[in-house]
Each structure stands twice: as structure tokens, then as C-alpha cells.
Structure 1
């Protein structure tokens, strides 16, 4: 009589490890004794699954706080990096949440300012805290930026001497000067909370009486008491929304990011190191025709024998540390 049977030959028992016999049962279909047995060891049948690795797990949404840039100014808001010992400088930090979540709107996130000698920050057991501030969570929603400002009276810091160089670093989500751990809030990255160094020099000589410069540059908003025009390039993502070129008095200056302005005398402002997508090939600084000003642009340092002001955007990585607008009068 023909029937379906399960046959386990002794020869297979001897040739296979015993644990395989329990995990993967040997099946056969035979119509008569002595039929050839077909063995199938399943690896993807019922009950088979892959445990996802830790890297495959989708992380929860979290904030990610950074200090995008730090600039130094005098008390009038003029950006500068050379000071006298009897001056107070302002430390301005641009905070940003580059994560995909936020913290409570009324929750505070603390930032701290640190002073070090030289061009590079000291080890954390040597740097000196010289300021701190709190920012409300509502001001740092995902992809939002927020400025914080603290003052530093140089003559009150005993480590600051004439003729020496120092730097300021600002760290966000920092509540301890040393061994801060992960701060107060979990973030996507915990190692990017501190800025790069904002380096400044303390001059040897005594200061002259303060005067308003003929022209000045600011990468942190307009300068109080001066006539300012915004230098805006919307295609450039490197914080080109808060830069201003200012004059002591009204000079009839205008900015265009779409070619020269009809009826005005214009100077092209170019930056070859910028990607073409940032469209720095059609930007112009213009003056009214009757102006006695002549502007000259140089992206490789100041022009000899001319008055020049540096256009500096520290957050832009495309060599914006050597660009100067120079001028003379006819």
C-alpha cells in the first residue's frame, strides 16, 4: 500500500550534526520502501527573521544646537578684532538648531563664552569662562537662528596683557565648564556645540579718541548711528542675510544682486571661489551719478595707496577673509 512517510536514514543521522536534526527536520516523500529521499533544510520558512542592526534603526527626532559663528565688535557694534586694554568688546554668537525637533518654548538653553590665550582654545581645564546667557526654546525652533551677546571688559581680566593675542569660543547647551557630558538636552550630535575661535589682538599703544569711520562693515546687522545698506545674496546659504555696508553719512549707495542698476555708477562685487550656484557673478555696489566716490573691489587683499574696508563673513567657508572694498574721491 502506498503512503506518505517520514524516513530518517541512519546514514544521514551519522553525517549531519545532531543539532541540525532538531532545528531543520528532514522530510521525505516516498511511495515504497527504499525510495530516494529528498532532504530540504529551510532557512526562510515560517519563523525565519532578520534582527535589524542598531544602525538600521530609525532614530527619534532630536534637536541639534550649534554656534554657527562668533563675531567681536566694539560697544557701537562695529566689527573689529584689535582692541586696547581699556576697551570693552562685545561677543556676539549666532546660535542655530540644525536638528529636526525642539525643546519646550519656555525652557532655557545655556550658552557660555570662554577666553583662551593665543589662536587656539585652551584645554577645558584651562580656559576661562567670561560670560553666559540663556536662550528660550521658542527662539531655536528647527532651522532657526538666534543672536546672543555678552560684554567683556578687557582690563578686568588679569590674563590679558598688551601686545598679546587671545581668542573667544562660545558653546551652547553647556552648563558645566568641565565634564559637561551631553549637556541638558539630548541632541542628534553632542560634539558640535562649540564655535571655532574668534581671535583678537590687544594693542600696545594707547587709544586715540574714538571716531566714526568713513565706511564700516558688519556681519551682524546694521551699525547704530551709521547709514547702512544690506549686502544680500539670497542664493548663498552661508548667513548672507545679516551683512551690511555702512557709511558715516548718506552717500547715495545701493546694492543689487541682479546686475548693475540703471542710471547709477556700479562696481561689480565678485568672488571666484564661490560655487556658481551662489550667483556671486551679478552683484553690484552702486552710487548715484553725482557722487564723488569711486569704489574698487579686490578679492585678494587691500589695494595699495587706497582706503579699504574688509568685507568679512566668518561663516562662509569660501575664503571671505581676503576681500576688500576700497575707495577714493575725485
Structure 2
């Protein structure tokens, strides 16, 4: 069975972030935002990811240069999500299998959810499966409309939705699993028939359905996974989520963190059992802390650094 590939959209500017740094290169707990998306794709079985670059493309290429499973395609002008995926055609044209379309600014994506999306595509024998999530907080989000029998019918954007449609809690997450060759055929038929004169990826499912192919929707993701980081507030919210999960895993491994709300530990930090992390500690970068250590309070440790078993590190 051919391994799936992924196309990761990372060409946009950091307009709402008000930053000169490409959005996907903003760090979250010591790793780049896009690194989390790449890891989720790998966990779903992806062996090659095509990253679509655009704004400050050289910076993104440089940041991901060490990833042997990443190739790049450039979108010189940002003409919509469909146009962005078109840029990957050279990398996709010989692929016989599935392709995941993902956004590079969704660091909470889970590999298990993407695997469920691919499994749904295989079981449904679908040309496309739209990843959806269920949420009451659906303001501004595209609604997934189903037929009376529960099959996918269409996506309706919030501004175009009727009162009944606005009550729908199943929303489009922007994650898709496509048959690669059918995706390419639908992209060739895209028209910029909208106010922005852009090519929308969301038009591809309807093109495939009109051509007689099956399109399905699978509620495989949580709303947290689906929400992209568009501003510094959302960046802080995502970081808080990832940090909380990381500290929980550290504590479950046998480390005491006296007050997790006053502790910051990067993802790449390794800590031995029976070590105590006191309040106010910030541990950044590639740091290895041995067993039976006492860290802090108010210690700031920056890697690369290794701290021997039994050490006591003060401020």
C-alpha cells in the first residue's frame, strides 16, 4: 500500500500576528509551530510532506532544511488555498495514493485524528473526505450540510448560511484527505468565481461530486485541533495547551513539579525521576536533567546543557 503524502500550507504572511517572522516559524514550547504539524502527519503514516512556501520562503526553507522527508513548492502570489495546492502538482503528479491537505498553523493536530481521516477515506472509497469537528462555538465557521440520510451534501460558509444552517454544529476544519490524482483533476477545473477572485480548495469537493465521485465528511477532529493560530492571543492559548500536556507527561514520568502554573519547560527537555522542579523555573532548549535533582526556585536554565544526577541548581 502506498504511503500517503501531505501538502502543508505555509505561504501566508503574519498579518494578524503583526510580525516579520513567517507565522509557521513562531516557536511554541521550544519548537516551531509547523514542526507539530509535520509530526502529526508522520504519526498518520505520511512519508513525504510538500510544504507550500511563499512569504519569506527562504526563511521557511532554511528552518526546515534538516527534515529529509520535506520538499518545497513556492506560491509566489497568494491566490487562495486551491491555488496554493496547485503549486504542489509537480510533487504529486506521480503519486498513486492519498494526500492530506493541512494548514501549517495548526500545531494541536493529532496524528490519530489524521489517521482516522485517512481510514475514513479508505473505508468509504471516497475521492475526498473532509475532516470535520463538532462545536457549539461555530460563529464564522463553515457548516457541513448533510442529506436526510446523513451523507455529505455541501459546505456553507457562515455568511451564506440560513438560520437553520447556522444552528449546525459540525464545521469544516480545513483538513482533507484526497485521492491524489482526483484532487489534481479537480484543481484543473477550479475557477476564481468569488469576490476575492481566488481559487478555493473548498470548491474541489463539489467539482468531484459533479463528476460522479464520492465525497464524504468525517468528524475525526476536535475543534481545538482545527483552530489555526492567527494572532498572538491564539498563540498563547495553543502554547498553554501544549505546555500543560507536556508538564503532565513529565509528572507522570516521576518528576515533581511543585506548581505547574509557575513553571515553563520546553518540549526538548528530559528530566530524570525523583527530581523536583520548584516554582518560577524556566527551562529552555536542549536540556537534560538527571535524577534526584532539585531545581530552583526561580532557576533559568538554557540549553544545550546537561545537569548531573543529584545536582541542586538555584537561581
Query: Which structure has greater strand proportion?
Result: 1
Above 0.5 in TM-score?
no
TM-score, length-scaled by structure 1: 0.23
Query: Which structure has greater helix proportion?
Result: 2
Computing the radius of gyration from Cα coordinates, the structure with the larger value is 1
More relative contact order, 1 or 2 (CA 8 Å, 6+ apart) = 2
